[in-house]
Chain A
Amino acid sequence: MEKYLEILNYAIYGAAILLLLIGLYGALTKKSLIKIVLGLSIMDSGVHLLMISIGYLKNGTAPIFSPGHENELAKMVDPVPQALVLTAIVIGFGVTAVALALVIRLYKHHNTLRIDEIKNLKW
């Protein structure tokens, strides 16, 4: 039983990598442009989850030095990955917005969302 609980501690990494792979699969195999954008977005989320889980501590506290909590440095979660993830989420949002704008443009131009029907350029 102890052994299984040990594995559970690592389950979050597995979940993150699974998300990453699902996203990659979607982005590479789907034919609909919207689904490709979704896949890219899911891939991003996987990386974000992985980053957060690296800084995670069980029973950790917020990384703030407040009165009465001065000596809890060892228990504080690492704030750097969280700051990185916040930045990465904002960037991911921007890229998704640009991608969807391009999808709208492509739809107006070709009247279809299927990527195999849009091939004026060599893919």
Chain B
Amino acid sequence: MVGTPVLFIVIPLLAAFIIPLTGMVWKNSVRIIPGIVLSYMLILSISLLWHITETGTVIEVIAGWKPPIGINLVFSPFSGFFATLMIFLGLLVWVYSYKFKRNIDSEPALKYFILLMLLVTGSVGIVLTGDIFNMFVFIEIVGISGYGLTSFYTRRDSAEAAFKYLFMGSIASTFLLLAIMIVYSQLGTLNIAEIADKMPMMSNKLKVISLIFFMLAIGVEAEMFPLNGWAPDVYTQAPGPIGAAFAGIVAKAATYATIRVMFTMYDLSGAMDFLIVMGILTFIVAETTALRQDRLKRMLAYSSIGQMGLVMVAFGIGTKEGIFAALFLIFNHAIIKGLLFFSGSYLVYTKKEKHISDVNGMGKYLPITSVLFTIGAFAIIGLPPFSGFWGKLAILTAAADSKMVALIAIILSVSVLEAVYYLRVVNRIYFFPKKESMETQKPTINALIAMISLGIIILVIGFYPDLITGFIDRAAADLMDKTGYIKDILTINN
């Protein structure tokens, strides 16, 4: 073992304080140190993920106060899967944007990498923590670094998007506090495992009220319909790679929080149907809206919201197969949407308005980026032999196993819409004449490395899905085993 889970939080926070100081001495350390920290976190999480296949869940007790009194971090197959995926994507975002902003002396550029690192840290914290109030703190860390990253470009309308996000985010955090407080006043504990254990003691009325507050609060970050009004603007106004970070890291962490609250803490019958209905609504509304967009990043943003809706549906099915499908979809969405945002922002790099028509004829001028974008588009539609195919297949089989025929029909027909708007873009890339007098921007080496590695992963997983199904299977089994989770944490004393 390289270390314990607490290092995921301590090291980046320490680095975030030190970086401004080292930056005074050596400018480049501002962008190099976050990369080192993220690589270390990736090594740590992969080694822990291997370690827990033998020994079972690692639970870290902080400062010697045993749960349920103290704070604990839980690195289980389920949370470890999320953490590793998010850190990996965070590292790729760092590689991609290493030279995104060339002039390191300008003030915002100094902060970009620190904020990126804190965004990853907050998301990993949400996933690892076993304490509901800590979850609130980490959601706020993600929120504040997200506001900062959104308003990164001063010449765009980024402050407007960031303010919109902040408005939604701070109302959400108020509701989250209210929900936490209702739970605390009734059950007298903040530990997720103990809350889950004592939940039957709470009256049904308060259960529903606090669950609604939780969903209102976490739904904002999880881009759940109708709380996702901020997302398209934020994705459009933030720097390109940050779109990938929001889709691949923040939305994932919030989905994890939703599932933890829904599955582990509350075990309400009917709550699962609620997830399916909200997921389907999100999916349909977002995909039909994406069809009408004329800006590339807005289209990608709505598509991302739709995918998260599909993930909700898969979790809502509630069987082991459903959760397996949800985790596979999450994995796919993280790497594929990452690739689409990475390559898409180079396709429209030099254009001010970033319309979809700006990609016309790019196939000839940016061949590698175009091919990678095409791979991403095919993969997210769910064509074989790309990894997206297996995710779509898994959710359809899960729905079929649960005899939800209407669900299959809806998913398939909305997927056709998805295919329409992605293939439209691919068609423009290859078969439309280039607009006159438009210069293009060649991707830098590090951006190419990040994009190509994502493309290779999509292809490899497409051919050999067995490489990750083991991890996903263990993660799904871990989530289903609710009593095991409670027992593991509450009996750590020995």
**Which residues of A are interface residues toward B (Cβ below 8 A)?**
20, 24, 27, 33, 36, 40, 43-44, 47, 50-51, 54, 80-81, 84, 87-88, 91, 94-95, 98-99, 102-103, 105-106, 109, 118, 120-123
**A95 B159 Cβ-Cβ under 8 A:** no
Do B170 and A106 have beta carbons less than 8 Å apart? no
Q: What 0/1 pattern do residues 167 to 186 of B give for CB contact below 8 A with A?
A: 10111011001101100110
Give chain B interface residues in 173-218, CB to chain A under 8 Å: 173-174, 177-178, 180-181, 184-185, 190
| B144 within 8 Å of A (CB atoms) | yes
**Cβ contact within 8 Å between B167 and A36:** yes
**Interface flag for B157 (CB, 8 Å):** yes
Task: Give the nearest-CB partner of A110 in chain B.
Answer: B160
Given A120-B157, A121-B157; A27-B184 close (CB under 8 Å): no
Say whether B166 contacts A95, CB under 8 Å. Answer: yes
**Residues of chain A contacted by B178 (CB below 8 angstroms):** 47, 50
How far in angstroms is the closest Cβ of chain A from B107?
13
Q: Kindly state the separation between the CA atoms of A55 and B157 in the bound complex, as whole angstroms.
A: 44
Does A54 contact B144, Cβ atoms closer than 8 Å? no
Assuming the contacts A91-B137, A99-B166, A106-B163, asked whether A54 and B184 have C-beta atoms less than 8 A apart, the reply is: yes
Q: Does B73 contact A (CB under 8 A)?
A: no
Do A44 and B163 have beta carbons less than 8 Å apart?
no
CA distance A54 to B111 in the complex (A): 39
Complex A-B: 14 CB contacts under 8 Å: A33-B163, A40-B170, A40-B171, A47-B177, A50-B181, A84-B180, A84-B184, A95-B144, A98-B144, A98-B166, A99-B170, A121-B157, A121-B160, A122-B233
Given contacts A50-B181, A106-B163, contact A95 B143 (CB under 8 A): yes
Q: Mark B231-272, 1 if CB is under 8 A from A, else 0.
A: 001001100000000000000000000000000000000000
Return chain B residues, CB-CB under 8 Å to A94.
140, 144
Known: A91-B137, A121-B233, A123-B164. A102 touches B174 (CB 8 A): no
Report the bound CA distance from A32 to B408 in whole Å: 47
Decide if the interface of chain B is mainly helix, strand, loop or mixed: helix
Q: Is the CB of A121 within 8 A of B171?
A: no
Within the complex, what minimum Cβ distance (angstroms) separates B258 from chain A? 21
A22–chain B nearest beta-carbon distance, Å: 13
**What residues of B have a CB within 8 angstroms of the CB of A118 in the complex?**
160
Assembly CA distance A45 to B161 (angstroms)? 25
User: With a CB–CB cut-off of 8 A, which chain A residues contact B177?
Assistant: 47, 51, 88
Contact present for A47 and B174 (CB under 8 Å):
yes
Interfacial chain B residues near A87, Cβ < 8 Å: 133, 137
With contacts A27-B167, A44-B174, A80-B190 known, is A98 near B147, CB below 8 A?
yes
B154 within 8 A of A: yes
Contact at B164–A43, with CB atoms within 8 Å?
no
Whether, in the assembled complex, B476 has its beta carbon less than 8 Å from a beta carbon of chain A, the answer is no
Pair count A-B, CB < 8 A: 85
Q: How far is the CB of A74 from chain B (nearest CB, A)?
A: 15
A47-B178, A102-B151 are known contacts. Are A95 and B173 too (CB-CB below 8 A)?
yes
Report B188 CB to chain A, min CB distance, Å: 8
Complex CA gap A43/B157 in Å reads 27
Of A24, A80, A88, A94, the most chain B CB neighbours within 10 A belong to A88
A102→B149 CA distance, assembly (Å): 12
- Report if B125 contacts A (CB, 8 A): no
CB-nearest residue of chain A to B141: A91
Which residues on the B side are within 8 Å of A51 (C-beta)?
177, 181
* Chain B residues within 8 Å of A109, by CB: 157, 159-160
A54-B185, A81-B184, A91-B137 are known contacts. Are A102 and B159 too (CB-CB below 8 A)?
A: yes
> Nearest Cβ in chain B — how far from A113, in angstroms?
11
* Given contact pairs A95-B170, A123-B164, A105 touches B159 in the complex (Cβ within 8 A): yes
Q: How far is the CB of B392 from chain A (nearest CB, A)?
A: 31
By beta carbon, the residue of chain A nearest B148 is A98
Complex A-B, nearest 6 residue pairs according to Cβ-Cβ distance, in ascending order: A105-B159, A120-B157, A121-B233, A102-B163, A47-B177, A91-B140
A20 to B181, CA, bound (A): 14
Cα A46 to Cα B36 in complex, Å, equals: 42
How many whole Å from A29's CB to the nearest CB in chain B? 13
Extra pairs beyond A50-B181, A95-B140 (9, CB < 8 Å): A43-B170, A43-B171, A54-B185, A87-B133, A95-B144, A99-B166, A102-B166, A106-B159, A121-B236
CB distance from A84 to the nearest CB of B (A): 6
| Residue of chain A at shortest CB distance from B161 | A121
Which residues does chain A contribute within 8 Å of B185, judged by CB atoms? 54
When distances are taken between beta carbons in the complex, the residues of chain A under 8 Å from B236 are 121
A99 to B173, CA, bound (A): 14
- Interchain nearest-CB distance for B65 vs A (Å): 12
| A7 smallest CB distance to B (angstroms) | 19
Q: Which residues from A are CB-within-8-Å of B184?
A: 54, 80-81, 84
Complex CA–CA separation, A20 to B175 (angstroms): 10
B395 on interface, CB distance cutoff 8 Å: no
CA distance A4 to B177 in the complex (A): 30
**Residue pair A99, B174 in contact (C-beta under 8 Å):** no
Cα of A105 to Cα of B147 in the assembled complex, Å: 13
B154 to chain A: which residues have CB within 8 Å? 105
User: Is the C-beta of B162 less than 8 angstroms from some C-beta in chain A?
Assistant: yes
Q: Is the CB of A102 within 8 A of B171?
A: no
**How distant is the Cα of A105 from the Cα of B164 in the complex, in angstroms?**
13
Given A33-B163, A50-B181, are A105 and B151 neighbors across the interface (CB < 8 Å)? yes
Closest to B162 in A: A102
**List of A residues within 8 angstroms of B144 by Cβ:** 94-95, 98
